[in-house]
Amino acid sequence: MSERLRLMAVHAHPDDESSKGAATMVRYVREGVSVLVATCTGGERGSVLNPQMDRPDVWANLSDLRREEMRHAREILGVDQAWLGFVDSGLPEGDPLPPLPEGCFALQPLEVAAAPLVKLVREFRPHVILTYDEKGGYPHPDHIMCHNVSVEAYEAAGDPERYVELGEPWQPLKLYYHMSFSKARVLALDAAMKEAGLESPYQEWLDNWPDDRPDPGDRITTRVACGEYFGLRDDALRAHATQVDPNGRWFGVPLEIQEKVWPTEDYELARSAVASDLPEDDLFAGVQEAVKTP
């Protein structure tokens, strides 16, 4: 019997799945891969970042709205999605930083926070998992915890002596981290915008880029060609209307420039139980050889 390939993307909040790796997921859905997004929290403490949505009625119903936005986005992407059930920690701001709210996701003991994901991994049985790096992609406490629980689930789900009450063991074969904003990518898009006579949304960012900032580009092992799906990625991101300004920087570079200049989404292979040659152009490199697939 043939086995269908399965991909799981683990994200901290609703909207993260549309801003990181969305075109990759659409590509694999179109290729017949089963794709599941695991969303750790409900995004209850997110900000309303779209000026058109910054209204009292939106704030009063933010939790329900974010679930409805997630439903719309997953339909656009063609993926399945599961809520892990934790409460958003919020992004602490100020000096000194305030404490995180009691009971939030980022304050859970690791085994408590990882348990729903371990259970989901054993049920869905993904061959590949996507998540954030050890810094969370950016230092939001929920993103860092999302990294921690993803690594824990990758390492524990296949161990019959761990989380014994959560189903039959299943060992994913590869774990990847998103490496979205390498300096080379930002520079290439910035240059292309200027060459086209357009205002670059990245100029201020580049002007303030710290010399000692680690460059995600140095960690990229895998580039997935998916430029033809950038439009669906943007549609899914706009579905998160409370979180995304449709006139903001996310949409400042025309799709035709993005598809020409940088038509990939980029990743670091962090763990692997199969052999593959680096650099890769496919998250399932080495996986097809390890499992029977259509």
Q: Would you list which residues are annotated within the binding site for Zn(2+)?
A: 13, 16, 143
- Residues pairing with 131 in the sheet: 177
**Residue reference for tokens 């991101």:** 237
Q: Note the helical H segments in 31-61.
A: 56-60
CB 203 within 8 A of CB 192: no
Kindly report the backbone phi and psi dihedral angles of residue 158, in degrees, each rounded to the nearest multiple of 5, phi listed first.
-90, 0
Pair of tokens at residue 121 = 């991994």
CB 200 within 8 A of CB 190: yes
Rounded CA separation 76/113 (Å): 29
Output DSSP code: residue 90.
Answer: -
Q: Helix or strand or coil: residue 119?
A: helix
Rounded CA separation 223/54 (Å): 37
Annotated binding site: 13, 16, 143
CB atoms near residue 23 (< 10 Å): 25
Tell me the residue ranges of DSSP E strands in the chain.
Answer: 6-11, 34-41, 80-86, 128-131, 174-178, 222-225, 264-272
CB atoms near residue 203 (< 10 Å): 12
Rounded CA separation 67/42 (Å): 7
Helix then strand count (H, E) for the chain reads 11, 7
